[in-house]
Amino acid sequence: MDKLINDFSFGLFFWQALILVILILLLVKFAWKPIMESITAREEGIKNALLSAENAKREMENLQADNQRILNEARAERDAMLKEAREMKEKMIADSKNEAQEVGQKMIDQAKAAIESEKNAAMAELKSQVSSLSLSIAEKLLKEELSNKESQTKLVEKMLGDVKLN
Partner 1 sequence: MVISNKPLSFILAAFVASLPIMGFANPESDSTHVQTETAHEEKVVSHNAHQEGEHVALDPKAKVDAFIDHHLQDSHDFVFFSDEKENKHYGFSLPVILIDGGLKVFSSSKLHHGEEVAEVDGSYYKLVHGKIYKTDAAGTINFDEHGHPSNEKPLDFSITKNVVSMLFVSVLLFFMFTGLAKSYKKGPIPTGFGRVLEPLVIFIRDEIAVPNIGEKKYRKYMGYLLTVFFFVWVLNLLGMTPLGINVTGNIAITVCLAAFTFIITQFSANKDYWGHIFWMPGVPVPMKIILAPIEVLGTLTKPFALLIRLYANITAGHVVIMSLIAMIFVGKNLAADLPISLGLTLFISVIEVLVAFLQAFIFTMLSSLFIGMAVQDHDHAHHHEDETAII
Between 16 and 134, CB nearer to partner 1: 16
Q: Write the CA distances from 81 to 68, 77, 87, 98, 156, integer angstroms.
A: 20, 6, 10, 25, 96
Give yes or no for residue 65 binding partner 1 (CB under 8 A). no
Q: How far is the CB of 54 from partner 1 (least distance, A)?
A: 21
**Distance, CA of 103 to CA of 116 (rounded, Å):** 20
Using rule CB under 8 A, residue 12 touches partner 1: yes
Minimum Å gap between C-beta 56 and partner 1 is 21
User: Among residue numbers 18 through 47, which ones bind partner 1 (CB under 8 A)?
Assistant: 19-20, 22-24, 26-28, 30-36, 38-39, 41-42, 45
- Over the range 32-52, which residues count as b (16 or more CB within 10 Å of their CB) and which as e? eeeeeeeeeeeeeeeeeeeee
Q: Which stretch binds partner 1 (CB under 8 A): 12-20, 92-100, 137-145, 153-161?
A: 12-20
**What is the enclosing helix (H) or strand (E) of 32?**
none
Angle between helices 149-165 and 33-145 (to 10 degrees): 110
Interacting residues with partner 1 (CB under 8 A): 4, 6-17, 19-20, 22-24, 26-28, 30-36, 38-39, 41-42, 45
